[in-house]
Chains A and B, each alone.
Chain A
Amino acid sequence: MSQTRTIKLDTLARLEGEGSLYVRFSGSHVSDVKLRIPEPPRLFEGILEGRSYDELPDIVARICGICPIAHQMASVHAVEQAFNVAIHPSVRALRRLFYCGEWIESHALHIYLLHAPDYLGYADVIGLARDHKPRVEAGLKLKKTGNDLMAVMGGREIHPVSACAGGFYRVPTVAELRKMREPLQEARDLAVETVRFVAGFEFPDFEQNYEFVALSHPDEYAINEGRVISSGGLDIAVEAYLDHFVERQVAHSHALHSAIRGRGSYLVGPLARFNLNFGRLPGSVRELANEAGVMPPCRNPFKGIVVRAIETVFACEESLRIIDEYEPPQAPCADFKPQAGVGQACTEAPRGLLFHRYEFDDSGTILSARIIPPTAQCLKRMEEDLYFLVGQMASLTTPELTHRCEQAIRNYDPCISCATHFLDVTVERD
């Protein structure tokens, strides 16, 4: 008779925000998995009510210090949809560039500071830097280029100040953007090195039959717009999001669990984007993926670190392309008037699909708000990964298994600050 064991971690480290884990199992039979999100709710949707549409990008940025641009972009797209605002093609390109900065920074942060130590047997980046200093310095340089790009576009990297509905308060000059060319070219090379570095890691033999969900666009690797598609055949407009996805409040967590209506859990994030939109990546990036030995469909979540590095190469190349083709718009921001209505938008945050929905009155005052961040969408799937992982690897010692569980959670690059804020949404609609 197998002994009942528990894995209990009160503070999961190297995550953005704080979480805790509890797993109870006997032999390969797992009886309980709980990923707790103890962070206090911040009631964003509640405090948005009564505010003006033009305050949205500043307020929603504060949901998350790691992906403020994701929230800013989703909110301005939602406002533009509600007020029927058409944006200038150059503004559209600049937003993509802005977002690429966040992808580069967030991916480099996660790869080097949070995730790589797991694969190489270090407790943290301090240990990693002791033995691999040039590599960590290269990673930090890559991260810095992402931050610098955001600062050029928005004044600062955390909670930048430039985005507004209709465009930007000010757009960069051609000369300002050109200054980013050289660092981005270097970053591109560093990102390619990163792909080769992480592709050499050892990956546990663990595959899951995920339903991948991501934005998809016919002409580009989707970031700011597209349709929501899935590997299970879903293909819907963003406006239909709430018809197909449901959330449930669960007792053990301060965050809700998302599911596809009638089916169950799903996966968003780099792995989902890569598998669903591989054909939209430039040939150079596809070749690199092939060289790294990670091709779609990739169902091993531990290889997410390689996909993140591949996306970082893409984000650098895409930034260079946008900068080279940039022509400033006549006006930084489109003219428009608020009108009563509902606006919804999805964008691809570094860690996956992000949904915003707002209802406005005719003066542009927010009547209701709803925000569904990627980490909340993945929580159910994360628990399922842990369930199967522990079942499959039950022969490991408890400390080894505990480490594997932590690594499996980090595969998702979870952003707990985002997930938590989400608690204050109206729920339980099945």
Chain B
Amino acid sequence: MKSENGQKPRIAIFKLASCDGCQLTLLDAEEELLSVLGAVDIGWFPEATPQVLKPPYDIGLVEGSITTHHDAEYIHQVRRQCDILIAIGACATSGGIQALRNFQDLGSTLRKVYATPASISALKMSTPVSDHVPVDFELRGCPISKAQLLDVLSAILTGRAPNIPTGSVCNDCKRRGNTCVLVARGIPCIGPATQAGCGGICPAWGRGCYGCFGPMESANTASLRDRLVGLGQSSAEITRTFRRFNAWTWPFREISEKAERGEITK
């Protein structure tokens, strides 16, 4: 990719409500970092540099969810500044862990926890970037995968489509050679409904997948829920199981809300 004036492409990295882990993933690409930084001009990346280039930017990466009035306006400005806008991580693609507030009454939570809650600017909901502006690509994960981030960046820079698998974590487990924790040990695992990308690490560590890459395409969550019920999970446990780092994304949200209402079939 070259900008119209023949310069290196300009990249900008924005942060909303988040833990910083997804933009840290770029700095964690130690072996590739200097070549990535050499291939682009950084327009906005305050975590790494105070230098600012005037917009527009060719590529914008946005980390974090929309949780304040300020950010709900700011994201429109970000969108206008970026030719290609990529939402990175569970916060930006689903509302993230802070979307657990969406299932609570924010007003009572604030009153309970703040000395002076009136000074706090918070929206009732934590929502993904795509609820507010069109997004060109979403990179899943809590945190995102370094390999996937580098793939998307090189895809854009070389003008090809990103190579991001949309199958389930089960595929990751097969590739890694994991014994299935759900089948062999009866451990609750939502890998069958979760998008691949992590490399199947939780089952490799002897525990069930907790869904940090969010629902896969056409996930059969109802069938998985029935399996979890068969393993003895209560409605409350099923609600929690699907209500973690991508809680606000359909169909994880659908299952957790149904379980919360007690609508579980045997």
In A322-338, which residues have CB < 8 Å from any B CB?
Answer: 332
Interface residues of B (CB under 8 A from A): 15-22, 24-25, 27-28, 30-31, 33-34, 37, 42, 46-51, 67-68, 70-71, 96-98, 100-101, 104, 109-110, 112-116, 119-122, 142-143, 198-199, 201-202, 204-207, 210, 212, 240, 244-245
Q: Could you tell me if B51 and A123 are in contact, using CB atoms closer than 8 angstroms?
A: yes
Q: At the interface, yes or no: A186 with Cβ under 8 Å from chain B? A: no
Q: Which 8 A-B pairs have the closest CB atoms?
A: A65-B21, A13-B50, A155-B201, A124-B49, A428-B115, A47-B100, A144-B30, A140-B30
Interface residues of A in 18-73 (CB under 8 A from B): 18, 38-43, 45-47, 51-52, 55, 58-59, 62-66, 68
Q: Which residue of B lies closest to A147 (CB)?
A: B28
Q: How far is the CB of A108 from chain B (nearest CB, A)?
A: 9
Count contacts on A: residues with CB < 8 A to the other chain: 68
1/0 contact string of A5-27 vs chain B (CB within 8 Å): 00000011111111000000000
Task: Choose one: A124, A159, A170; the contact of B143 (CB below 8 Å).
Answer: A159
Q: Can you list 19 A-B pairs, Cβ within 8 angstroms, ordered by A?
A: A16-B24, A16-B47, A18-B46, A39-B17, A40-B70, A40-B71, A51-B240, A58-B210, A65-B19, A123-B51, A125-B37, A126-B37, A140-B31, A156-B201, A157-B28, A159-B212, A161-B210, A416-B20, A424-B110
List 12 extra interface pairs beyond A13-B47, A140-B34, CB under 8 A: A14-B50, A15-B47, A40-B67, A43-B113, A43-B122, A45-B113, A62-B19, A64-B21, A143-B30, A159-B212, A168-B205, A424-B113
* A-B pair number, CB within 8 angstroms: 180
A295 at the B interface (CB under 8 A): no
Q: How far is the CB of B13 from chain A (nearest CB, A)?
A: 12
The A268-288 residues at the B interface (CB cut-off 8 A) are none
A313 at the interface (CB under 8 A from B): no
What residue in chain B is nearest A137 (Cβ atoms)?
B34
The digit string for A387-430, where 1 denotes a CB below 8 A from any CB of B, is: 00000000000000000001000000001110000011111100
- Given A11-B46, A423-B120, do A147 and B30 touch, yes or no (CB 8 Å)? yes
Contact of B245 among A62, A147, A158, A425 (CB under 8 A): A62
Measured between beta carbons, the chain A residues less than 8 angstroms from B122 are 40-41, 43
Which of B15, B50, B51 is A17 in contact with, Cβ under 8 Å? B15
In contact, B98 and A42 (Cβ under 8 angstroms): yes
A133 to B30, CA, bound (A): 13
Query: Which positions in A face B, CB cutoff 8 Å?
Result: 11-18, 38-43, 45-47, 51-52, 55, 58-59, 62-66, 68, 109, 113, 123-126, 129, 133, 136-137, 140-141, 143-144, 147, 154-159, 161-162, 168-170, 249, 251, 254, 332, 406, 415-417, 423-428
